[in-house]
Structure formats: C-alpha cells, structure tokens
A and B are shown apart, each in its own frame.
Chain A
Amino acid sequence: MTPDPSPARARRWHILVFLAPAVLIYSALMIIPLIDTLRLSFFTPQDGGQTFAGFQNFITLFTDPRWSVSFWNALKNNLIFFLIHMAIQNPVGIALAAILSVPKLAGRAFYRTAFFLPTMLSFVIVGFVWKLILSPIWGVAPTLMGFVGLKSLFGPWLGQESTALLTVSLISVWQFVGIPMMLIYAALIAIPDEVVEAAEMDGLTGFRQFWKIKLPLILPTLGIVSILTFVGNFNAFDLIYTMQGALAGPNFSTDLLGTYLYRTFFGFQLQLGNPTMGATIATMMFLIILCGVMAYLFFIQRRMRRYQF
C-alpha cells in the first residue's frame, strides 16, 4: 500500500512535451496578443511611434463625447442583446431539451439535428439568408404573413431603428438555440432513472416533475449556459457586420462593442484606424467579460450544489 516510488516522477517530462505545442500556439496566438492589447491601450500614437499615455485613452473613452456616446450606446445595445438571449434563447433551449427528452417522442434524432443545424452554419450564410427572408422586396416573409392575413404587420425590420436590434438578436437566438438545447438535453438524460422513478412513486409526473425534480438538477448546466451566452454576446461581431455593415445601422442602433471596436481599430471607409483607442475598447470588452465571469464564479458557481448519485 505504499505510494509509487519517486523515480516515476523523473520520467514525467513527456507531460511537458505533449503540452508544449498547445501552450506555445495558444500563447503566441492568444495570450501574447491579449497582453499586447492591454499594453497598447496605455499608449498614444505620436510622430510615427507611440508614447506612454497612462489612463488618458480610458478618460477619453469615458468623458469625451466624441467617444463616450458611441461607447455607452454600444454597451447598452450589447446589454439588450444579452438580455434578449437570456430571456428567449435559454428558456426556448430548455423547453426544446425537455420535449426532446420525453422518451415517447418520435423522430427525436431529426428534431435534434434540425434545431442544432443553424449553429453550424457560418454567420455569413445566416446573415445572408435572413436578409433575403426579411427583404421587403423579394423576401418570403411578407408573402408568408400574407397567407395568414398578417401582411399589414410586416415592416422593414432590419432598416428601422426601433426594430433592428431586436430582429438581429432574434436571428442570433435562432442560430444559437441549439447549443443550450444540447447541453441541457445532455444534463436531462443524465438524470438517473431512480430519481425519476422515485418522483413518480411520490406522484410527481409531467410538468410538475420537471419543475420540482429535473430543473433543480440541471441548474449547474443552466449556469454554464448563461456564462457561455454572456461571453459569446459580449464578443459578438460577425452577425451584425454581415447583416448591418460596419456602421451597424440604422443610426448605430445595432452597434455592439465588437463592431465599435472594429471601426475604431481597423478604420472604415475614409476613417483611418486608431489602434490605441481600438485597444482601449478591446480592453474594456475584456474587463467587462472578466467581471461577468468572476461575478458568476463568485456568486453563483460557488454556491451551486452538485448532486452526486
């Protein structure tokens, strides 16, 4: 019953060797650029070079109306974008997963694939297809709504300030609802039969069983789904860029931090790029995501109880 003799330790170099490629590539492509972005946000361009500027870029971003109006607008839109996902994508994901996990459901594999499929499509295709569907000129949406007598309700949703953000958010929800669905589905079918049977013995079936037994059991998964949604939403860029362009129109109503960062960092049309202010915005995005994840870990993950069977 003695532990393994220590010479085994000496031969553990292989761990380093196997880790090295991932560590090197990840460092080169992710960690170093991230640190360099953080560094760049403290500099300002001058005479072809860069000079240290302390927190000046951040002060500009928060107080100079030329920057702050766009920043707060993008942050607000981003928050709305996230809330719509939380309010619609995750409940719908749970509902779909719950329905899929009903043992008697026919064609389950088909539905599962169908709901998950959009997740695997490229943003460009999703953006293009939905732009076509919703096009007031060629789109099928007005025709289909006409069949049920709702044509008068159709509008150029992607072109109106009041509806563009909601429309784009819902398209994003449509695309990504498969991910929470799959994660929750996996959690639901992992619930041991004994627990379900015990609940049935106690007279809990159907909807009540789901609320009282299954939902509490999948709460940790819901937490994971929420934090994934949060990180994904505050990094969002592609869908807005393909559907609404880099100016996130109309009138910046769909501007997210990602598109704002893009315009600032790389420039757009006649606007020349400003790498240091771009880095400042990127740093803010990093901090927002970091705070969100930390808050989640601290307040929710720590208190979460995991059931062991």
Chain B
Amino acid sequence: MVKTSFRTAALASVGLAILAGGAARAADTTLIIESWRSDDLPIWQDKIIPAFEKSHPGIKLKFQPTPPTEYNAALNSKLDAGTAGDIIACRPFDASLTLFQKGNLAAVNDIPGVDKFSAVAKSGWSTDDGKSTFCVPVASVIHGFIYNKDAFTKLGIKPPKTEEEFFAALEKIKRDGTYIPMAMGTKEQWEAATMGYQNIGPNYWKGEDGRLALIRGKQKLTDAEWVDPYKTLAKWAPYLGDGFKAQTYADSQNLFTLGRAAIYPAGSWEVSGFNAQANFKMGVFFPPVKKAGDECYISDHVDIALGMNAKSKNADAAKKFLAWVASPEFASIYSNELPGFFSLQSTAVDLKDPLANEFLFGRQQCKSTIRSTYQILSRGTPNLENETWGASVNVINGTETPDAAAKRLQTGLASWYKPAQ
C-alpha cells in the first residue's frame, strides 16, 4: 500500500513535470539567429540576448553563427532545405537581394521602426526601386583618417580640413622625417580603393547625388566628379613610405600602431584593434574638402542587417524581435559593445569609446553615403568594384593616368550596364 502510493506519487510528479515542461515550451518561442559574425557570440550571449529576453518574456533567442567564409553557402543550403533559423543576418546588396527575390526573406516594411531609417541606411537591403526593404539595418562602418595625436602635437599640426591643409600636413611630416606621413600600401589592392578612392571620393561626387546619378546613367565615370579623386589619390604616392607597392594591409596596420606612421586612411572597423595595440592617443579627421566651408560627405557604408526567414514558423515572435532590433535600446547595446560598427538609426547613440565617438561625429558634420560601386554597378563583367581596386592602385603606382583609368572603367561598365551607355 505504501509502495503503491509512493509509485503513484512518483508517476504524478513525473507527469506534472512533463506537463509543466510542455506548458513552458508552449509559452516560450525560441528564435534561432543565423549570422556570419562568430566573433560576436559572447556579446550576444552576455548582453544582447539577456536584454531582449528580459523585456520580452516568452521569447528565447539562440545565436547560431557560421564562419564568415562558409556563411553564404551554408545559409543558402539551409534555406533550400528548410532548416534555416528564424532570424537571418543579411549581407548588404546582391547577396541578400537574391534571397529576397527567391522568397527566402520576408519584407520588413511593416515592422515598427523600420520607417525611421534613412534611405541610405536601407539601401543595402532594399529592392533597386527602394519600395521593399527586407532586412532591418543594424550597423555601418565609417571611413575617415585615424591620426597619431602625439605626432601631430609634436610637429604642431592640426587635423586638416581642406585638401591644401591635408597635403601641407603630409609635407611637414615628410620633411621632419620622424614618421612615415601615411600608412597605406597598394599590394593588396582593396585598401587603395576602399581606404583611398571610396574614402575621399564622396566629397567630389557629392555623396548620394553623384552615386545615384551614376546609377541612373546621368553621370559617367569619365566626368570630373569621378576622375578628380583619382588625381588626388595619385598625389598620395610620395607620402606613403618606402616600398609601399609591396606593403600589405597588415603592414600598414602595424606601421601605424607601432607609431611609425602619422596618418592611417581607415575604416571604423579598426577601432577596437587599434585601441588594443596603439599606446598613443588617436584621433579621427574626415576626408578634406576643396575649400574651407564646403559641404562634406563621408562614406558611411552599410555592413550588416537582420532579416526574417520567410518560412519561419515563429513569424510573430520574429517580428517582435526585429522591432526591438529597430529600437534605440538595441542600437545602444550593439554600438557600445562593438565600437566601430555604428547603428544605422537616426536616433543618436551615446558611445563610451572616444575613438568610435569621433568617427560617429562625422555623421553630424557631413552627409552620409555608401561606397559607389556596391549597389547595382558591380553585378556584371567586368566587375566595377574589382576594376576600381585596380584603377586606384594603378594611379597611385603611376602606371596609369587618372583619365585613362576612368576611361577604362567607363568602357567596362557601359559594356554591360544599359544606363551607363
């Protein structure tokens, strides 16, 4: 009798436990997040997920990253097999656009908060006509120049505002001889284009105005707006230090953080690495303008967004999560944990990192644009982005004149892109 009641009690408790578990499972929805940012795993686990789960009881998050090089392939096969997570980290432009066109990503136009993002912020994850947006913009990287504050103080140089001041500063550093004026190499090619051409270019083509005019075929790469940045770039060569033609990206980073170079043409993704390595004060200045008082433009390039698997079974929870991603709360956590990756929201975020803050200051001073070659213009062969790498290197190395380079790029683009013809 005692035994029986014991067994009954045991059974009952097991049953209760199952019921309780079942009830808990019914109430909790778990959203799986696919991402290529495996570096961010601790930040998601320690900061972002707890913050979200606290304010949204009943929804659990699971961050499930894949290494960057495998992400596109892994994601595509998971989506095809129907095993992909609910939330999907979106790369900008064509990679995600293809997913949206194939019906793998849902439109996010109706998610609260999405309408508050600027058109530039949404450009990486919208259809060409801008009507449908399919991912909530998360972060961008900003271009500019990081400089060694100690070196500038020692040589009595102020961060340059105009091109004249910029080259005067370079000349002064060169004549002093203590520092290499600017740390950049042309060996790996992409630096010359990304940190060179796309960094200084927006001031010439007036940011979005020029970029969109190029896409619509109203401007050509042979127009002064697009050739002049190459001419300026060509003038960098004497200030890049010995053997810059064989200098790699890592070389440039090391030269600067070891204090051997005074200026580093940069993207804001360097912030956390440089903070850890450099033991001198650093500051940021933005691409110099022609005349003092000219409107300035910065490359504020969209980099990562979060979207929703169109076939997700937890669509409601996913929408709630995306609405939170579009909120200032998420922006504040994300930008502070990953200095150098800036929230794309219009609401200003308070950043604790001083160097990242200086980059962010660019958005208040200058108008934002994205890299000119990324949207639409690099879909064909020859590929405008890759060609721009080559052209930037050639003009700096002096093996091609800016005019010849521009003519070659325009011919290449016009060969497959109708509006450019």
Do residues B386 and A270 form an inter-chain contact, with CB atoms below 8 A?
yes
Do residues A271 and B390 form an inter-chain contact, with CB atoms below 8 A?
no
For the complex, count residues of B whose C-beta is within 8 A of A.
37
**Complex formed: what's the CA distance from A245 to B186 in Å?**
12
Name the B residues within 8 Å of A156 (CB-CB). 187, 243-247
Q: Is A159 an interface residue (CB 8 A)?
A: yes
**Complex formed: what's the CA distance from A206 to B247 in Å?**
48
Do residues A271 and B381 form an inter-chain contact, with CB atoms below 8 A?
yes
The contact of B189 among A66, A158, A247, A271, by CB within 8 Å, is A247
8 Å CB interface, B225-277 against A:
241-248, 251, 255
Q: Is B30 an interface residue (CB 8 A)?
A: no
Q: How far is the CB of A139 from chain B (nearest CB, A)?
A: 9
**Complex formed: what's the CA distance from A251 to B185 in Å?**
14
Supposing A134-B246, A158-B246, A251-B393 touch, asked if A270 and B186 sit within 8 A by C-beta, the answer is no
Do residues A159 and B390 form an inter-chain contact, with CB atoms below 8 A?
no
Do residues A271 and B383 form an inter-chain contact, with CB atoms below 8 A?
yes
Do residues B243 and A137 form an inter-chain contact, with CB atoms below 8 A?
yes
Name the A residues within 8 Å of B397 (CB-CB). 159-161, 250
Q: Is A295 an interface residue (CB 8 A)?
A: no
**Complex formed: what's the CA distance from A271 to B387 in Å?**
10
Interface string of A120-146 (1 = CB under 8 A from B): 000000000001001111100000000
**Complex formed: what's the CA distance from A288 to B255 in Å?**
44
The contact of B386 among A134, A138, A271, by CB within 8 Å, is A271
Q: Is B415 an interface residue (CB 8 A)?
A: yes
Q: How far is the CB of A244 from chain B (nearest CB, A)?
A: 8
Which B-chain residue is minimally distant from A245 (CB atoms)? B188
Q: Is B378 an interface residue (CB 8 A)?
A: yes
Which B-chain residue is minimally distant from A134 (CB atoms)? B246
Question: What number of A-B contacts does a CB cutoff of 8 Å give?
Answer: 99
8 Å CB interface, A48-89 against B:
65-67
Name the A residues within 8 Å of B190 (CB-CB). 269
Main secondary structure of the interface of B (DSSP, over half): loop
Which B-chain residue is minimally distant from A264 (CB atoms)? B381
Interface centre among B244, B379, B397, B416 (most CB of A within 10 A): B397
Q: How far is the CB of A102 from chain B (nearest CB, A)?
A: 40
Which B-chain residue is minimally distant from A157 (CB atoms)? B246
Supposing A268-B386, A271-B383 touch, asked if A250 and B243 sit within 8 A by C-beta, the answer is no
Name the B residues within 8 Å of A65 (CB-CB). 415
Q: How far is the CB of A308 from chain B (nearest CB, A)?
A: 53
Which B-chain residue is minimally distant from A48 (CB atoms)? B102
Q: How far is the CB of A250 from chain B (nearest CB, A)?
A: 6
Which A-chain residue is minimally distant from B260 (CB atoms)? A137
**Complex formed: what's the CA distance from A252 to B389 in Å?**
11
Q: How far is the CB of B211 from chain A (nearest CB, A)?
A: 15
**Complex formed: what's the CA distance from A138 to B241 in Å?**
13
Name the A residues within 8 Å of B186 (CB-CB). 159, 250
Q: How far is the CB of A130 from chain B (nearest CB, A)?
A: 11
Do residues A270 and B385 form an inter-chain contact, with CB atoms below 8 A?
yes
Q: Can you list 30 A-B contacts with CB-CB less than 8 angstroms, sorted by A residue number?
A: A66-B381, A66-B416, A134-B246, A135-B243, A135-B248, A136-B242, A136-B243, A136-B246, A137-B251, A155-B243, A156-B243, A156-B247, A157-B246, A160-B246, A161-B397, A247-B189, A247-B389, A249-B187, A250-B189, A250-B394, A251-B394, A251-B400, A268-B383, A269-B389, A270-B94, A271-B383, A271-B386, A272-B94, A272-B379, A274-B381
Q: Taking A159-B185, A161-B397 as given, write out 4 further A-B residue pairs in contact, using a Cβ cutoff of 8 Å, ordered by the A residue number.
A: A136-B242, A159-B247, A245-B188, A249-B188
Q: A residues bordering B, Cβ < 8 Å?
A: 65-67, 131, 134-138, 155-161, 245, 247, 249-252, 268-272, 274, 277
Closest 6 CB pairs of A and B: A136-B243, A159-B245, A156-B246, A159-B246, A271-B383, A270-B378
